[in-house]
Amino acid sequence: MISQTRKIVQKSLDALLEDESFLPGVKDELRKKAFSSLTSILSTPNHIHKSFLRIALENGRVERIPAFRVQHNNALGPYKGGIRFHESVNEEEVENLASLMTLKNALHDVPFGGGKGGILLDPRDYSEKELHLISKKYVQYFSDILGPDKDIPAPDMGSGEREMDWMMAEYKSIRPGHPYRGSFTGKSVVNGGSLGRREATGKGVFFSLKYLLHDFMKDKKSFLTKNDGVFAKNLLKLEDRPLKVAVQGFGNVGSVAALEAHQSTHLSIKVVAVSDRNVMLYNEDGLDIPGLIEYAQKNRGDLPDTEEALEEAEVKAEVHDRDDVLYLELDALILAALEDQIHKDNVEKVKANIIVEGANAPIESEADASLNDRGVIVIPDILANAGGVIVSYFEWLQGRETQFYSEEEVFKMLYEKMTHTFDTVLPMFFGDPFSLRQNCYIHSVMKLSTVLYRQGKLY
Q: 318 forms bridges with which residues in the sheet?
A: 282
Say if residue 255 is exposed, middle or buried (CB neighbours under 10 Å; 0-12, 13-18, 19+).
buried
How would you class 274 by CB atoms within 10 Å of its CB: exposed for 0-12, middle for 13-18, buried for 19 or more? buried
Question: How far, CA to CA in Å, does 246 sit from each of 39, 250, 274, 351?
Answer: 38, 11, 6, 12
Q: 238: closest CA among 328, 325, 352, 374?
A: 352
Considering 116, 187, 244, 270, which one is annotated as catalytic? 116
Q: Could you confirm whether 316 is annotated as catalytic?
A: no
- Dihedrals φ, ψ of 416, to 5°? -65, -40
* Distance in angstroms (rounded) separating the CA atoms of residues 457 and 26: 14
The whole-angstrom separation of Cα 403 and Cα 24 is: 43
**Direct distance between the N- and C-terminal alpha carbons of the chain, in angstroms, rounded to an integer:** 29
Q: Is residue 311 within a helix (H) or strand (E), and if so which, with residue range? A: helix 307-313
Sheet holding 114-120, edge to edge: 47-56, 62-73, 114-120, 79-86, 151-155
- CA–chain centroid gap for 285, Å, is 29
Q: In whole angstroms, give the CA distance from residue 260 to residue 397.
A: 27
Sort 417 into a burial class: Cβ within 10 Å, 0-12 / 13-18 / 19+.
Answer: buried
The residue among 360, 336, 355 whose CA lies nearest residue 93 is 360
List the catalytic residues: 116
